[in-house]
Amino acid sequence: MAAVAATADSMPSALEGKPTLRIAHLGDPQFGFVTGRPSMKHRAKERFDDNYRDDLGRLERALARVNELKPDLVVFGGDMTQNPADLVKEWPSLLKRLQVPFVVTPGNHDMGNRLTFENIERFRKVFGRDRAAVDVKGWRVIAGNSQFWHKTEAKDEQAEYEAWVKAELEEAKSRNGRVILATHIPPFAFASDEKNSYDNYPLAGRAARLEAYAASGARFFLTAHLHRLSVRGYRDLTMLGVEALCANFDARPPGFRLLEVADDFSYSWNFIAV
Ligand SMILES: [Fe+2]
């Protein structure tokens, strides 16, 4: 692979054939990210303004790098800001700078841990949509809104979303595995039958959703949310959880990844620091 400026932090590449699809995978820019974890005192809420400025700067560098790399698509993994009200501030102009088509999987910080009408409307105003299924280089990329699997005041929309996912997964079966799924929250963090936590889909319905994902023939599942590197699997699905662009709990540096996939489904997912 010549085109990618791989760093010492890169995952070992398993890519064998010539890549036919290149996706920039950006997780949790989350301008102003706050956590009370004792190990991350620099992310205390008193430092919100400084962190917001730094996080925004990192995202700007990431977008410049993406424009240089010219991937086929950008998948933003969600949590675009710490506070949903801030989505309208910088994101409209940031998106204008991006020279590559994109999809976004909305995060819990975008929608609310209990999804609200106000948040979903604001998100759609800024990003155009809260879910998307797009065709890229013979692949189908289906970017979902996993907050619908959690608490929501938009009950009618939840049913409509469920029907959308079902129809998309059904259609995906004709794609001979050339399908990539994405949501902000991963279906599971460590094991498919683990108990409910902040880091997974609710156990009620999780097994059925995973089986439906696998039955669609999809080969890759892109996630964010964990603020740490996570590589998992479920049947033929390779589940790639990207580092956050703001700050990580596992001491990984902030950055994003470039997924490159060949026709034989071999792939690389190299880390790009910013
Ligand atoms: Fe996040």
The alpha carbon of 77 and the centre of ligand 1 are apart by a number of angstroms equal to 9
Domain ranges for the chain, please list them: 19-273
pLDDT grade for 203, boundaries at 50, 70 and 90: very high
The alpha carbon of 28 and the centre of ligand 1 are apart by a number of angstroms equal to 5
pLDDT at 8 over 90: no
From CA 96, how far away is CA 110, in angstroms rounded? 20
Q: At 157, give phi and psi (nearest 5°).
A: -65, -30
The alpha carbon of 269 and the centre of ligand 1 are apart by a number of angstroms equal to 20
**Fold of the CATH domain 19-273:** Purple Acid Phosphatase; chain A, domain 2 (3.60.21)
Task: Tokens for 145, please give them.
Answer: 């809104």
pLDDT (tens digit per residue) in 255-270: 999 999 998 999 999 9
Crossing angle of helices 117-127 and 87-97, rounded to 10°: 20
- Closest by Cα among 274, 101, 75 to 180: 75
The alpha carbon of 139 and the centre of ligand 1 are apart by a number of angstroms equal to 27
Task: Tokens for 99, please give them.
Answer: 């020279």
Place of tokens 């059904």: 170
pLDDT (tens digit per residue) in 37-55: 999 999 999 999 999 999 9
The alpha carbon of 162 and the centre of ligand 1 are apart by a number of angstroms equal to 24
- Closest by Cα among 139, 135, 132 to 20: 139
Residue 12: half-sphere exposure toward Cβ, Cα within 13 Å: 1
The alpha carbon of 8 and the centre of ligand 1 are apart by a number of angstroms equal to 25
